[in-house]
């Protein structure tokens, strides 16, 4: 798939993410928007996942479960779940819970129920280790968040992955520099991220999380690494694509009102085709 196609998909994901959250009147736009290019590249360029039920598919775990809208948006774009669900985010008994619930969406590509920060990397470890033991070629990818790597469980999981040389495991850190209470360095510094993971036996790659060329280079390097798990530290902007949300911690978990929603959709512009759920009544 060409970069221009990836960019169109990314814009459509952003519009659908904001539409979901607007209708729900709650949710997490900041960290969903920052991960759009990462998720677009994974699902439309990197991962082997033409079917959400094929045993040979790669697995993805959204460890930062509050970013559920970006996962739902990409699964809709793949055709694994219907775009008619867009207005149902966070509604009672909805299939689109505020954090991914695999029981609500069986066979849809939601591989794990996540949301309690830190647990997703451990789940991904289990998947990767099982594939190793069964001598299967499946790969596992996990998306982490900045605030999440304050959790001790992340470092237990990092230690295990290094010990078992899980070279079929790739973690991607959506490194936007912010968490719910503010800047990382003010809340609980996570630096130096690279040296910490290296100390646990990981190979570290840096990338621009909004640049498809940079992501492609990172994943190409990833393929050359043997006998080590890999983390791609992807520098991103929280709230990317909405000028009034960008780099603002208050948009970690706040829905736009009608005026803000309309402004955001106008800023994102036309994508050349009809976006499902893209309007106020979608």
Instruction: Give the span between the Cα atoms of 165 and 162, in whole angstroms.
Output: 5
Cross-strand pairs, 61: 142
> Distances from the Cα of 36 to the Cαs of 83, 137, 154, in angstroms?
17, 26, 23
The answer to whether 96 and 39 are in contact (CB under 8 A) is no
The answer to whether 88 and 96 are in contact (CB under 8 A) is yes
Q: Domain coordinates of the chain in residue numbers? A: 3-268
Q: Which two tokens stand for residue 255?
A: 């829905």
Is 141 in a helix, a strand, or coil?
strand
Phi, psi of 250, deg, nearest 5: -65, -15
Is 19 in a helix, a strand, or coil?
helix
Assigned architecture for domain 3-268: 3-Layer(aba) Sandwich (3.40)
Side-by-side strand order, sheet with 59-62: 59-62, 140-145, 169-175, 230-235, 203-208
**For residue 192, cis peptide bond before it (omega within 30 degrees of 0):** yes
Is 22 in a helix, a strand, or coil?
helix
Question: Global pTM?
Answer: 0.94
Q: What is the pLDDT of residue 182?
A: 84
Q: What is the pLDDT of residue 269?
A: 85
Q: Which two tokens stand for residue 187?
A: 């809340």
pLDDT along the chain (282 residues), means of 10: 94 97 96 98 98 97 97 98 97 96 96 95 98 98 96 97 98 94 89 97 98 98 98 97 94 95 91 42 27
Query: In 3D, which of 147, 83, 76 has the Cα closest to residue 279?
Result: 83
Q: What is the pLDDT of residue 271?
A: 60
Region of 276 please: left (phi>0), alpha (psi -120 to 50) or beta.
beta
Alpha helix segments (H runs only) across 25-166:
29-33, 36-41, 68-78, 119-133, 152-163
Alpha helix segments (H runs only) across 134-254:
152-163, 184-187, 193-199, 212-222
């Amino acid at each position: 798939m060409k970069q221009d196609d990836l960019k169109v998909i990314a814009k459509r994901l952003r519009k659908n993410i904001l539409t979901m959250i607007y209708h729900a009147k709650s949710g997490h736009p900041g960290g969903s928007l920052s991960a759009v290019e990462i998720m677009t590249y994974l699902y439309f360029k990197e991962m082997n996942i033409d079917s959400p039920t094929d045993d040979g598919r790669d697995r993805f775990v959204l460890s930062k479960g509050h970013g559920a809208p970006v996962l739902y948006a990409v699964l809709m774009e793949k055709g694994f779940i219907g775009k008619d669900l867009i207005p149902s985010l966070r509604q009672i008994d909805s299939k689109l819970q505020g954090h991914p619930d695999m029981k609500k969406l069986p066979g849809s590509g939601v591989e794990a129920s996540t949301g309690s920060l830190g647990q997703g990397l451990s789940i991904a470890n289990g998947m990767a280790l099982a594939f190793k033991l069964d001598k299967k070629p499946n790969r596992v990818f996990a998306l982490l968040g900045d605030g999440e790597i304050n959790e001790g469980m992340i470092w237990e999981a990092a230690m295990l992955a290094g010990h078992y040389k899980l070279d079929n495991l790739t973690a991607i850190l959506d490194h936007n520099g912010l968490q719910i209470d503010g800047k990382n360095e003010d809340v609980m510094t996570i630096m130096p991220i690279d040296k910490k993971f290296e100390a646990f036996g990981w190979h570290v790659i840096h990338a621009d999380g909004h640049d498809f060329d940079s992501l492609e280079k990172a994943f190409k390097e990833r393929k050359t690494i043997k006998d080590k798990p890999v983390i791609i530290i992807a520098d991103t902007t929280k709230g990317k694509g909405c000028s009034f949300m960008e780099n603002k911690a208050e948009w970690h978990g706040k829905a736009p009102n009608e005026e803000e929603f309309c402004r955001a959709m106008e800023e994102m512009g036309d994508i050349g085709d009809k976006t499902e759920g893209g309007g106020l009544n979608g």
